[in-house]
A and B are shown apart, each in its own frame.
Chain A
Amino acid sequence: MGDSAYSFSLTTFSRTGKLLQIEYALNAVANGRTSLGICATDGVVIATDKKLTSTLVDTAHVGKVEAVDSGSGMVYSGVGPDYRVLVRKARKSSQSYYRQYREIKPVTQLVKSTASVMQEYTQSGGVRPFGVSLLVAGIDGDGIPKLYQVDPSGAYFGWKATAIGKNYVNAKAFLEKRYQDDIELEDAVHTALLTLREGFEGEMTSENIEVGIVSKADGKFRVLTPSEVQDYLDEAT
């Protein structure tokens, strides 16, 4: 993590008190493909646009929505390879936690430790911040569904519903209009798909989006299969 030759941080304050590297990282996020999440009374849904550059790309092997442990999963907007590093670290930290406490790591703790890692990379020698914002979804032992956003700076926020990436302004406005505190998971999935479709370039199919849900019924996070996504898309039209 950073070369020993670089004992100084590459992220330093500007005169106006800004950390420009973090601002630039946020730009990288804003250029990434849209992701969103919605917290329902009985679960959480996260989804992303995984539209790729050419029709020749085999989307089945691209995983953007990833489970971290049985009770939580995440999705991102920004630089894919950076995301994969964070997923790896999050998974390892979940397993370490289980070894110590024999309990599944709660989402809130997972978010805190991931955020802490991201913050380290803004202050350690010889490294740059991660070019991703994460949406972390999960249900803890207390049964309350949770959705968090984690930014490159390491700041994290709890959300009822949010969007990040390219079209996030419009997507958030759309969500603000449609969100209700008593929304249920099924509705939340439909709303998520409608929101994604709003800013989608071209036709939205089950092959070029990815959806993950965690429901209170079984407390397990899973990525929906393309056929399940297709069912939801058919219901929406």
Chain B
Amino acid sequence: MSILEYNGAAIIAMAGKDCVAIAADTRLGVQAQTVACDFRKVFKMNDRLFVGLGGLATDVQTVDQLLKFRQNLYELREERQMSPKVFSNVLSNLLYEKRFGPYFIEPVVAGLDENNKPFLSGMDLIGAPVYTDDFVVTGTATGNMYGMCETLYKPDMEPEELFETLSQALLASVDRDALSGWGAVVHVITKDGVTSRELKGRQD
């Protein structure tokens, strides 16, 4: 089994009309054995910026802490918030610094830029970024997630519809993956704030 599949994860971020949503499962496993069903993989960096980290759990937590570190220093020095585009680049840089001994995570970044337009990016474990305007996925069920998103996604969805679409895509994807599932969390980000909900899914 690959090191990126050791703990299991399924994370999707999707763009709507002046909103983004990001959802992740909450399973923490040690290969086949499930150890926790409340493990956080999506982290709020500020009211308009979320990052989802899929991969080795220890690196998920470490990278979250390192990102917070870099973000805090930036905000203190520059006296302004980090925009999603800049944050994505900081993350990419952080990962490439460990090019020959990487963090085993494959992140997705979801946020709203200064003009409240959605921003999405995903990258591999050494920081190669991809920027999309529809959706990004990461984790152990990417095949399933790409299929679900490609089928269910349509552009310019309002927050409520975006939530429904994203939730259905995630739930259906994790059901056919042994290593992800056991509950899920969805965050919908608009200029007026964040709405977070827990999904009830199959507990197997």
- Which residues on A are within 8 Å of B, measured CB to CB? 99-103, 106, 108-109, 112
**Cβ-defined contact, A100 with B77, below 8 A:** no
User: Which residues 22-68 of B have a CB within 8 angstroms of A?
Assistant: none
Q: In the complex, A198→B90 CA distance in Å?
A: 49
**Cβ-defined contact, A101 with B77, below 8 A:** no
Asked whether any CB of chain A lies closer than 8 Å to the CB of B93, the reply is yes
- Count residues on chain B whose CB falls below 8 Å from chain A CBs: 9
Chain A binding surface SS class: helix
Interface core residue of A101, A108, A109 (most chain B CB under 10 Å): A101
Which one of A102, A106, A109, A112 contacts B89 once the chains associate, using CB atoms below 8 Å?
A: A102
Which one of A99, A103, A109 contacts B77 once the chains associate, using CB atoms below 8 Å?
A: A109
Across-interface contacts of B90 in A (CB, < 8 A) = 100-101
**Cβ-defined contact, B85 with A112, below 8 A:** no
Across-interface contacts of B160 in A (CB, < 8 A) = none
**Chain A: which residue is nearest B92 at the CB level?**
A102
Q: In the complex, A102→B77 CA distance in Å?
A: 17
Q: In the complex, A182→B192 CA distance in Å?
A: 36
User: Which residues 60-117 of B have a CB within 8 angstroms of A?
Assistant: 74, 77-78, 83, 85-86, 89-90, 93
**Cβ-defined contact, A99 with B93, below 8 A:** yes
Across-interface contacts of A102 in B (CB, < 8 A) = 85-86, 89
Given known A-B contacts A109-B78, A112-B77, A103 and B86 have beta carbons under 8 A apart:
yes
**Chain A: which residue is nearest B74 at the CB level?**
A101
Across-interface contacts of B78 in A (CB, < 8 A) = 106, 108-109
10 A–B contacts from the bound complex (CB under 8 Å): A99-B93, A100-B90, A100-B93, A101-B86, A101-B89, A101-B90, A102-B86, A102-B89, A103-B86, A109-B78
Q: How distant is B146 from chain A, measured CB to nearest CB, in Å?
A: 27
Across-interface contacts of A108 in B (CB, < 8 A) = 78
Closest 7 CB pairs of A and B: A102-B89, A101-B86, A100-B93, A103-B86, A101-B89, A109-B78, A100-B90
Q: In the complex, A112→B76 CA distance in Å?
A: 13
Q: In the complex, A101→B86 CA distance in Å?
A: 5
**Chain A: which residue is nearest B87 at the CB level?**
A101
Across-interface contacts of A109 in B (CB, < 8 A) = 77-78
Q: In the complex, A109→B80 CA distance in Å?
A: 12
Q: In the complex, A112→B90 CA distance in Å?
A: 20
Q: In the complex, A112→B77 CA distance in Å?
A: 9
